[in-house]
Amino acid sequence: MLYPLKFEPILKDKIWGGSKLKSIFEKSALTDKLGESWELSGYEGDESVVTNGFLAGNNLQELIEIYMGELIGDQNYDTFGLSFPLLFKLIDANENLSIQVHPGDEVAAERHNSFGKTEMWYVVDADKGAELIIGFSEDCSRDTYLDAMEEDKVEDLLQKVPVSKGDVFFIPAGLVHAIGKGVVVAEIQQSSDITYRIYDYKRTDDKGNERDLHTEQALDVIDFTASKDPKTNYCAALNEVTPLVSCSYFTTNVLRFDQNITRHYAAIDSFVAYMCLEGNFVIEFENTKTIVNKGDTVLIPASIDQLSLIPDNEVCLLEVYVEGEV
């Protein structure tokens, strides 16, 4: 019988990383340059490995090979086969990340034999005055954009958005974006690592080399229209399920609760993933109990129709699945 699955985080140092994933979520970083914790991944070469129960030691792709639709949902298995469709990350931007854009499915398949990359961010923590870059502040033409690139003024065209804890942003493929210094986000995205870097503040590596830019590739995928009202508006009530983002790639809700709640999933044909951003709780399913701590991400197999969440204190939980209604 399948059960709620926990995984070993895949930790990645980055030149812009910091120490907040260690201080906020107790990730076991060996350096102060931890930029990303891949919490749940089926990406080739970075498959998450189970840490609990009789399936401990198996990676996510191996589980899909064995359990197929029972694990991820029949429709997801028919669509994605052995590829897990989503990638879950925690990201700490101790410095500004490069300004970038991601291709959609069609371009990514043609150029990279990959999925495209539509994603969303939930702001976990933000320093005072921290910002994100989200799209263009006004409609822009290709020529204006290229002139700005030539004159090193592309930042002047882009929209900088002040952020605070709990803010949510949906980032479809084609939207230019960047995480600013002092921001920690939970990121939910298509399972893709295709990024077109369009500006990197002329930073250099330890050999004095600037990172490559992908100006020509990016031109074909950038949405040059102004990004109006980029923040997702929502009001999370305690002990209720609050919708955040719903698109063809994923649906994300936020649950804030300090009382026992029961979740019913018989109506959807999908796995469910929990990202615990605050508090601790226990998942009760059949005769099993799974302890979930702040910073844990848990995969609920599609075969599980109902479970109970028992909080130790107030919990903030992102609930993610791929299709249907709960």
Q: What angle do CA 45, 50, 54 make, to 5 degrees?
A: 140
Of the candidates 42, 57, 46, 92, the residue with the CA atom closest to the CA atom of residue 273: 42
CA 225 vs. chain centroid, Å, equals 24
Identify whether the C-beta of residue 84 lies closer than 8 Å to the C-beta of residue 60. Answer: yes
Of the candidates 55, 61, 11, 59, the residue with the CA atom closest to the CA atom of residue 34: 11
CA 63 vs. chain centroid, Å, equals 21
> Which is the catalytic residue, given 111, 197, 211, 256?
197
- Look up residue 31 and give its amino acid: T
Q: What 3 state SS string does 228-259 have? A: CCCECCCCCCCCEEEEEEECCCCEEEEEEECC
Active site residue 197: yes
Question: CA quadruple 11, 15, 21, 27: dihedral positive or negative?
Answer: positive
User: Which two structure tokens, joined as six digits, stand for 146?
Assistant: 């290229």
**Which residues does the annotation mark as catalytic?**
197
